[in-house]
Amino acid sequence: MFPSGKTILLTAATASLALTQSAAAEGRDERRGNPYVAGDMHNHNTCTDGSVAAGYTIDRAVGRGTASAGGNNFDLDWFTLGNHGGSGNRDCRFSDTSANLPGQTTTTWSQTLGQTIDGITISSLKGTPNGTGTGAQMWRWQSIREIEYPTVVDRSAKYDKVLIEGLEWIAPGHEHVDVAVITGQHPLHTKKGPGNADKMAEFEYRFDRADTDAIGPVIDAGGNQLWPGKDNVNNTGTAGHQKALTGIKWLQTNYPLQSYVIPTHTERQGPFSATANKGYNIEHFRDFNNAGPTVAFGIESPGHFAEGGANGGSGSYTPTAVGGGTYGMSGVYTAKVGGLWDGLLAEGRNSFIFVSSDWHSRGAGGARDSFTTADFIPGEYTKLYVPNAGRFSSQHVIDGMRSGNSYSVNADLIGPDMVFRAKARGDDWKTMGETLVVRPGEKITVEMELTVPNENNSPYGFDNPLLVPVGIKQPLNKPALDHVDLITGQITGVVAPDAPNYAVANAAGTAGAAIVYNPSATIARQISTTQMKREHRGDRDGVRLKFTTTFVAGTKPFYIRARGTNIPNGTPNVSDTAGNPLLDANNAQVSCTDPACPAHMETVNGVKKVTHDVQAYSNVWFHANPIFVRLEGSPKLLVETNAELARRLGQRADNDHDHHDHDDHHHDHH
Amino acid sequence: MYLFRITVCVLGLFAGLGCGVAAPGAVVPAADEPTREQCNAAVAEARALAASLPPDHLSRYFAERHLHQAMAEAGNGEFDECLEMAARASDEVRERRHELRPGEKLKVLRPDE
């Protein structure tokens, strides 16, 4: 059992411990055998621009079986409600009419003030008045406190799962950012009660550029502010970036182990602009990590996986996005070997990648329809795996993400029991996010084990149309792994903020895909599934695959990351001869000719093309975070020193009252 | 213009399109940021375009769903995404991106199903 009241940074050894412990609990709950647990941290509801009620999203994401009104639930282990900042005019206890749910119609705050609905009474819209009539909007700090968090508390009890109130921060000067502050949130605390999401709400009020409320909550009849001193001016461009850094420093100072800051769909709006609100260049990720070494530790790839049409659009990316669109359903920053993420890893930074659904709606479909032309429900298509740390809690979600020991999977290409680790001698295995210390010339053994499940959530049983041209028959509802790439890159050291290469010119469109940030990054090994050891685990559990390979330590530090796919090298319109994903817009060059190709696919000259959810289930990838390697006696990497900082802060937090609050109320998953 | 504003307001019940007013004391968007007015205009233009298709044309249905989402984005104050969704609606109509084969239907569950 892991100790409570401490920050836990999992090592390979502790991950093995979790596996051993959980094996003993088989039979009580099949999930207890999994070393990793699946979640989603980026999704929306009618409090902002989503299509369904806040509670409905949670029900579908973490519930089991079938929803009462129809549609599958997706049984996630943990869930962060990560909705936009700003304001919204819809009452998010109701789903939108467009969701086609029985008894649900679009309802605005103006229609429900003073009524008690779902046990919640909203008597007024607080803060600076914002709109009138049906356009009257509730600032998000209020809906976080008074609607979403009470819903999280209600559903936590109903499902006994880890639910977190988070935010998709509309960051000043930039694109959006996944944020959570779990301080004060303990929805299942048996002694102290459910707590509150006030710290999350305060961050939103103070730092979200779409929240221009100048009042916030008040503490007395005189109108004195609970959260005074808001900067409501510097929301744009370079000044906005500085305000964003102030927000990150606020989190680092106050909640260094109980918050995270993960920029999302970072390529979508093109490069950063000094005079607008859009995008990121590499220097902004560096700034974020420098300002928040234990809170700003990564990048999230885009969701919106089913938006791809005949001209592209997957990930909600247009041709003006950096890279011109998605690549293997990821943005070019993380998909390209030698790209921006590899540039951050070349510094030895604790920069990890994550993925989530960005659920809003099913586009042309209602919430219960099996098809989607826009987004998938959390857990349906994409899963973010973090370690199953014994008495699993919201703190462990953040600890797992911060450690880097996590991986991201689309379409259930692999399951919750991946092993990706490396050692040099003895039995000192290091896993994702950790650093292996070696001697020059030493042999490094890398081991990977993964399970390819027997099925995913695809409603389609016809053969993958992208693979028909290469003669492969692969039903879309049967995950199939073609190969795994081990990608290595040299670590050349941290780039100082005043160094000439700290900022790198960026470009919109496909020109942005040509930028090389780490020229040493390469696909060092490609292991075909046919080269892996196979173990059939029965009809229900799929196939267990395993391989071991070796590297020889040179004289420089480096990292090893992994990705896998169902797409063979050189698949026309999908991958290049090395196995890199092409621009996903090319997928629509391929026709879907099976009689079962669904009616909602886009057509060109009357012929259905590989688009929408069919595209998403055809072009499938997983990504695993890096293992770092450095030489004995060499200076520690930034990823190590930042992990040590987290450990020190964790020890200091042992005496922190609220930190104990989180570890006291865990769900016992063993 | 006044009539147009009222019409958009009714159509945009859930998003408060055309009904919203700037929050007193709230910050005015940066000069190059999309505005509610631009969003309203783009949605109205795309809606008119969609109405040029027969009511049962699949591209009209898709365009109207995009416009619905555009209004949801406006209700959240995200006018850039409103413009993006309105542009998608227009493209959908101009390019007739979705077509049904003879005898084919797009099955969408109704609320009463």
Complex prediction ipTM: 0.85
Q: Which residue of chain A comes nearest to B65, CA vs CA?
A: A364
Across the A:B interface, residue pairs with CB atoms under 8 Å apart total: 159
Q: Do B78 and A210 count as a contact with CB atoms less than 8 A apart? A: yes
pLDDT (0 to 100) of residue A666: 43
pLDDT (0 to 100) of residue A657: 52
* A456 alpha-carbon distance from chain centroid: 19
Name residues whose C-beta falls within 8 Å of residue A595's C-beta, 6 or more positions apart in sequence: none
Q: What is the mean pLDDT of residues A218-227?
A: 97
Does position B111 have pLDDT exceeding 80, yes or no?
A: yes
* Dist. CA A98–CA A322, nearest whole Å: 32
How far does B2 lie from chain A, in Å, by closest CA? 17
Q: What is the mean pLDDT of residues B65-72?
A: 94
What 3-state DSSP class applies to A83?
A: coil
Q: What is the mean pLDDT of residues A206-231?
A: 97
Beta-strand relationship, A120-121 and A298-300: unpaired
Token pair for residue A136? Answer: 């009257």
Q: Report the residue from B17, B106, B110 with minimal CB separation from A600.
A: B106
Of B9, B27, B40, B81, which to mutate for an interface test with A (greatest number of A Cβ within 10 Å)? B27
Q: Do B32 and A232 count as a contact with CB atoms less than 8 A apart? A: no
pLDDT (0 to 100) of residue B9: 36
Q: Do B20 and A131 count as a contact with CB atoms less than 8 A apart? A: yes
Q: Which residue of chain A comes nearest to B20, CA vs CA?
A: A131
Q: Which of A108-112, A207-211, A223-227, B32-36 has the lowest mean pLDDT?
A: B32-36
Does position A318 have pLDDT exceeding 70, yes or no?
A: yes
Q: Do B76 and A48 count as a contact with CB atoms less than 8 A apart? A: yes
pLDDT (0 to 100) of residue A252: 98
Q: Do A214 and B15 count as a contact with CB atoms less than 8 A apart? A: no
Q: What is the mean pLDDT of residues A487-494?
A: 98
Q: A246-273: b or e for each residue (b if 16 or more CB lie within 10 Å)?
A: ebbebbbeebbbbbbbbbbbbbbbbbbb
Q: Do B76 and A236 count as a contact with CB atoms less than 8 A apart? A: no
With contacts defined as CB-CB under 8 Å, which chain A residues touch B17? 135
Q: What is the mean pLDDT of residues A47-59?
A: 97
Q: Which of A217-221, A353-357, A539-543, B81-85 has the lowest mean pLDDT?
A: A539-543
Average pLDDT of every residue of chain A: 92
Position A664 confidence tier, pLDDT thresholds 50, 70, 90: very low
pLDDT in tens, B4-61: 232 333 334 444 433 334 444 444 455 568 899 999 999 999 999 999 999 999 999 9
Q: What is the mean pLDDT of residues A182-195?
A: 94
Each domain of chain A, given as residue ranges in start order, spans: 12-664
Q: Which residue of chain B comes nearest to A134, CA vs CA?
A: B16
pLDDT in tens, A320-344: 999 999 999 999 999 999 999 999 9
Q: Which of A4-13, A485-494, B59-68 has the lowest mean pLDDT?
A: A4-13
Does position A577 have pLDDT exceeding 80, yes or no?
A: yes
Q: Do A96 and B110 count as a contact with CB atoms less than 8 A apart? A: no
Position A33 confidence tier, pLDDT thresholds 50, 70, 90: low
- For chain A, what percent of residues have pLDDT higher than 90? 89
Does position A625 have pLDDT exceeding 70, yes or no?
A: yes
Q: What is the mean pLDDT of residues A60-85?
A: 96
pLDDT (0 to 100) of residue A47: 97
Q: Do B14 and A106 count as a contact with CB atoms less than 8 A apart? A: yes
Q: What is the mean pLDDT of residues A93-114?
A: 97
* A221 alpha-carbon distance from chain centroid: 42
What 3-state DSSP class applies to B70?
A: helix
